[in-house]
Each structure stands twice: as structure tokens, then as C-alpha cells.
A and B are shown apart, each in its own frame.
Chain A
């Protein structure tokens, strides 16, 4: 077909869309700002509801991408222009912070053993910070222009910054962590401990952190947190059978297949306690355990409880960089900050700009199953669009 598509974002939506587009015979470039693809899922140990390892999903989608997709790592969009249905996408090296707090890009633009700056693509940076290639020729700071007949935006989401719920004490109290941080512990095979290394006797899991919360400006439900909380509660009980787990929820949205069953399993098999009440505030005691204040709305009574560790189920947030790209293209985000499709029922992958398509959580919170299905649908929409031209 000889038409080129640029997919922006290398999470499961972008990877799936890119793989499907390649299968459909299109030339595909996938731009990923990080050093590896996989988005948030690569950081997840096991997935709800069947506890499949997240890596399995990433590996499967990665294999489907195969050699038909040119993946450009460590690249971000600098500008986009379009004229006569051709998109010119200027890209540059993305900057990220590594675990040591030092700035580096995903290509590993760091100092090598010889003291020379280089990135993983073999580009060498001179002492003045200018880019040059191995032959000593100067390059334009990593800027590159791609042309494409179509663009798929699959830039996904950010996790809610739990520090914004100030009353929960994330970033202040030692034993308040997020669901993502708990998942990282699972993935690393670490025991769940308090900040000072003790085995927790009681863990609190807080639902809807940054979701369905007018105070932080997010009225939407993040869809995946409820079942994630149930899954993580079971996993804590599996790892620490003596540890009590309390989940504080508004309502449990077990909307998909086998979710409700997992919720029942959590209660019946694992003895997880579910308390219907939103956390009011958290405070630290002298021993660094946490005092939670909430209301048990089923008994109609205020409740004060001490836990050793509190896990915040952080929701989805629209990405600032998605907004930048949307502005370049002339797309308007919805009131919730996520991008709007042309029609939520019939053109859910199309946008108001011909040739620009959306895939996955760039449109709002979505679980992995729905994201994959949506990305495949986006690929078919792109194919149909390009064939019609």
C-alpha cells in the first residue's frame, strides 16, 4: 500500500495499533519516549482478574509488532504540521529522569566509560553538549522530521499524583504508598513491609484516589482501580496471611467478566474487609503507623482505625504532553482533559482532523482488554481511511 503511519506512544495501545497496521500492510513508525515500550503495563506484576503476568501481555503484543514496525525509542514530538493530508512530524530526544534523579534520555544519553557523551543510537555528544555522529559531523540536536499519511495518538495517561490529596499524607507520611508502588514491590518479588522494614499487621487500601473526586477536579471513574484494589488485597493476604486488609470504597464497580467473582473470592476465601466509606484524613502516630478517619456508611458511624501501611489506588490523569500534541493538531480535549473522538458511538477512533486517530486511554480510562480492542479498531479505521483516499 506504501502509505506511512506514525503511531505516537508505545504502551499497549500504541504497540497493538502499530502491530495491526503493519499486518495490514502499512509502513509504521512507533514513537516511544522511553527506552522501552510497554507503558504502564510493563510496570505491573500481575493483571486482574486472572492474575496473568503483565509481561505476558507485553511480550505477546511485542511479537505481533514484529519487524514490520520501526520503533524509535527515546523520541518525543516537537511539532506537527499537516498539509494536503500529509503530516510532517518533527521529533526530538526525550528527556527523562533516571532512578538517581539525573537527567538522561531514553536512548541513554549519558557519559560513557571514556568520558564521552553518547546515546544508545551511537550518537556522540561533544563536550559543548552539541550532537555529533561517530564521524565527527555535527547533528541538529537530535531533531528529525517524519512524514506520514496518518497519525495514531496512543499517548495513554499519567497516574494521579497522590500528593494532591494532601489529607492522605502521600509524600509526607512514611507508610503511605500508591498502588503502583505496591505493584512494583510485587514485581520485584519483595516482601511487603512498612517503611522501617517491619511486617505490617494491618493494611488499608483506599479506593478512588484522584477519581470521582470533585475536589481534585476529576469527576470521572478510572475504571480499573476497584478491581486492582481487590486483586492487590488478595495478593497481600497471600503473601502475609496474618495481615488484616481493609478496603475503603464508595462503591465497587465490578463491571467486567470475572470481576465480581474476584470480589467474592477476596471476601470469602481471603477475608478481606470491605468498608463503604471514603477516607476523610490520615495522620501519623509516633510509631509511624497511620490513623485513618472515615465513616462506615453501612452502619452510619464514624470510624477511626490504625493501619501499618496504606495503599492509595491512584486513578488516571490526562497527560500534559497529549494536550501539547493535541494543540499542535488543533484537537480540543474534553472537559475531563482526555481527547475527544469524532463520535463516541460510531467514530470512536476518528477525530475532527482527517487522518488523525485515537487509540486507548488517550480518550479516557480503560482496562487492558478494552484498550487492546480499541487499538485494533483504530488500526482498521486508519486502513479504511487510507484506502478511501
Chain B
């Protein structure tokens, strides 16, 4: 492996990322999957970095999940996206930041379509005007929230309490990074580092002290791939995709997996449980799984936020081994308490995938 070769590619895929005044739009599904992530993004941006991040309650789905599942036509998706841009314009912002990778991909696809076919943009403007009376400006800057965290990764490292170092050995943690397909596989130039050797998560891992694992199935789909999962008959393929990745990465003994998509952490985390129940396979050390994190969760861990405030207790694969490796303290008794201190109940222990027992 010649790291210089990768660095040369990364140089070619630099993108402009706004530095302040973000119009932030949430994902349809992330608050259910990993409920602390978006909240943590806002906390980091506002409390740590003192940035202006604005949300508008009128924001709705971008319809990307329907578009990529072949149930929402492109014309409809474009008009819905035009409405989001109108809300941004009305709010007085021009830097559009999405939480969802599929939204980011759809926004990129629509802006690219309008760039090449201005008559389509004009038609969509007319549709929006007739339907809602709204007009809009296109964003001056479009970024995914992981781009923004990437941009400020060194500030986060500087403010951080922890680094991705194994406390016991003093060695960097070994990390698998996995970007969402809709981040840069459609438009490599829209993603930091391009599509083949994306840098957006690598940059965070490196600057926060870890090392990245380059394993053979690095590019393979996580197993979400909308139609693989949403069409029930295809779910075996979804599992097979995830299994292929786990089998490929396991020999490298990763300490955790870092993701930037709503679906990837969901499937890479939950399917480890499914595979353990189906085949008795576990991929982590001593019958444990490989922890899976969102980039906001990881940034929050680096900054020393309470793991349970980050929502790490809702992960299927226990996160405590990773916290112990880094030396991040946590209160096991609080793991399943609600925000107001009530016991939310504990999940039933899986047959094979071990619950972590803090020693």
C-alpha cells in the first residue's frame, strides 16, 4: 500500500465547505436509528464551535427514500426539494447542510440536473410557484453534515478529551470507515476525497488519533441498498452484503466501524445481531461484535460527552469495549435510564452476541 498514491487522489477531490451560517435539514430516519446523533451535531456546532446553525420546522422529507425505492417520480422529488430550498431562502440562509446521505445525493443530483438542463429548473420553479406560491434561491454551498465535521475535525481534536488510542497498548485504534453510497458514488467530485478512496471519514479518524483499515470489501454496500431491504423478499441479499463486509474486515481486527449514512450504521450494527442468531457468528473479540458509530457519536466521544447522552445505549453491538479501550468513563447503571431518570427496560440478551460485562 502506497499511502502517497491515496494522498494524490485526495488532493484532486477537495470541495468547498461553508464555514458558518448553516441551514440544517434532518434525516427522516436517523432520529429513530441513532437518536443522539443529530442532537450531538447541533451541540458540537453551537456549543463547541459557536456556529450559526438554523433549523426550520417546515422542513419535510426530501422524498429521497421514495425516489430511490422507485415510488416517487423524479419530477415530484425535484419539486419537493425546490420547496426545501424555498424554506432555506425564506429563512435567510444559503449554506444547505443535510444530515442524510440520500438527501445529499438527491440534492446533488437535482442541482446537477438543473445545471445541465436549465429548462427543467424553470419548469420546477413553475410547479412550486403554482403549488405553494414559493420561490427560491439555489444554495450557495451544499454540504453533508459529515463534510462540516470533517472541516472542523482539527478544532474538535483540539477541544477533545480523548484520542483514538488504545489506553492499554498506546497504539492507534484500527478503524473501518464506510461512506454511504449516495455520498460520492454518484458524483465523486461532490464528496471529500472522491468515491474510490473517500477521505471524509479517514480525515476524522487520522486527526483524532486512529488508523484506517483498507480491507478488500471496503467499497461494498453495507446491506441497506433500499431495494435490498425494503423489498422483503430481498432481505437475504441485504444480509449477504453485510456478511461479505464483516468476513472481509474481520481479519484486520477492527476496533470499530465509522459511518456517515443513516442506513449503514443501522445495518452494520443490527445485522451483526441477525447473523449471530442465524449462524452463530460474531466478528469482534471474544464473542463480542464490532461497534458501529456515526461520525457525530464519535466526535461526541472525542469531546468527552456522556456516552448515554450520545445515544450509544441503543446500539445493538455493545459500545462499552470501545469506551474502555479509549478510557472513556461511563455509568453502567444509567445505560437504560430515560432522560428523566426512569428505567426504559433492557433488551433481551441475544443467543450468541455477547452483552458486555464491565469489569
Chain A residues near B (Cβ < 8 Å): 163, 166-167, 169-174, 281, 283-286, 288, 291
- Asked if B5 is at the interface of the complex by the 8 Å CB criterion, the answer is yes
Residues of A within 8 A of B251 (CB): 286
Q: Which of A163, A173, A283, A285 has the most CB of B within 10 A?
A: A283
Q: How far is the CA of A285 from the CA of B1 in the complex (A)?
A: 10
Of B1, B217, B218, the contact of A174 (CB 8 Å cutoff): B1
Q: Which of B6, B195, B196, B252 has the most CB of A within 10 A?
A: B196
Identify the 3 closest CB pairs spanning chains A and B, nearest first: A172-B5, A171-B5, A166-B196
| Interface membership of B122, Cβ < 8 A | no
CB distance from B252 to the nearest CB of A (A): 7
Q: Which of A172, A173, A281, A284 has the most CB of B within 10 A?
A: A172
> What chain B residues lie within 8 Å of A284 (beta carbons)?
1, 214, 216
Q: Which B residues between 36 and 53 are near A, CB-CB below 8 angstroms?
A: none
The answer to the question of B132 belonging to the interface, with a C-beta cut-off of 8 Å to chain A, is: no
Please state if A166 and B2 are interface contacts (CB–CB under 8 Å). Answer: no
Given A163-B9, A291-B216, the answer on whether A171 and B196 have CB atoms closer than 8 Å is: no
CB A26 to nearest CB in B, in angstroms, measures: 46
Which of B6, B195, B196, B216 has a CB less than 8 Å from the CB of A285? B216
Interface of A is mostly: loop
Which residues of B1-22 are within 8 A (CB) of A?
A: 1-2, 5-6, 8-9
Number of contact residues on B: which range applies?
10 to 19
A-B contact pairs, 15 of them (CB 8 A): A163-B8, A163-B9, A166-B9, A169-B5, A171-B5, A172-B6, A172-B9, A173-B1, A174-B1, A174-B2, A281-B196, A283-B214, A284-B214, A285-B216, A286-B252
Interface centre among B6, B9, B216 (most CB of A within 10 A): B216
Contacts of A167 in B (CB 8 A): 196, 219
- Closest beta carbon of chain B to A114's beta carbon, Å: 36
Nearest-CB distance from B34 to chain A (Å)? Answer: 28
Q: Which of A163, A166, A283, A288 contacts B217 (CB 8 A)?
A: A283
Q: Provide the bound-state CA to CA distance between A171 and B196, in Å.
A: 13
Structural contact, B1 and A283, CB atoms closer than 8 A:
no
* Interface residue SS majority, chain B: loop
| Nearest opposing residue in chain A for B196, CB measure | A166
Nearest A residue to B194 via CB reads A166
Expressed in whole angstroms, the Cα–Cα distance for A170 and B4 within the complex equals 12
What residue in chain B is nearest A285 (Cβ atoms)? B216
- A221-B219 Cα distance, complex, nearest whole Å: 29
Interface pair A171/B8, CB less than 8 Å apart: yes
A48 to B100, alpha carbons, bound, how many Å?
54
A299 CB → nearest B CB, Å: 20
Check if B237 is an interface residue, CB within 8 A of chain A. no
Chain A residues in 8 Å Cβ range of B219: 167, 281, 283
Q: Told that A166-B9, A174-B2, A284-B216 touch, could you supply 18 new A-B pairs with CB distance under 8 A? A: A163-B5, A163-B9, A166-B196, A166-B197, A167-B196, A167-B219, A169-B5, A171-B8, A172-B2, A172-B5, A172-B9, A173-B2, A283-B215, A283-B218, A284-B214, A285-B216, A286-B251, A291-B216
Taking the closest CB of chain B, its distance from the CB of A173, in whole angstroms, is: 7
Q: Chain A residues near B6 (CB, 8 Å)? A: 172
Q: Write the B228-246 contact mask toward A (1 if CB under 8 angstroms, else 0).
A: 0000000000000000000
Taking the closest CB of chain A, its distance from the CB of B38, in whole angstroms, is: 32
A281: B residues at CB distance < 8 A: 196, 219
What 1/0 flags go to B113-136 for Cβ under 8 Å of A? Answer: 000000000000000000000000
CB–CB A171/B2 < 8 A? yes
Residues of B183-213 whose CB lies within 8 A of A: 194-197
Residues of A near B1 (CB, < 8 A) are 172-174, 284, 288
Report Cα–Cα, A173/B196, bound state, in Å: 13
Residues of B within 8 A of A291 (CB): 216
* CA distance in complex: A284, B196 (Å): 13
| Chain A: CB-nearest residue to B218 | A283
Distance (Å) between the CB of B241 and the closest chain A CB?
A: 13
* CB proximity of B28 to chain A, nearest CB, Å: 31
B14 to chain A, nearest CB (A): 15
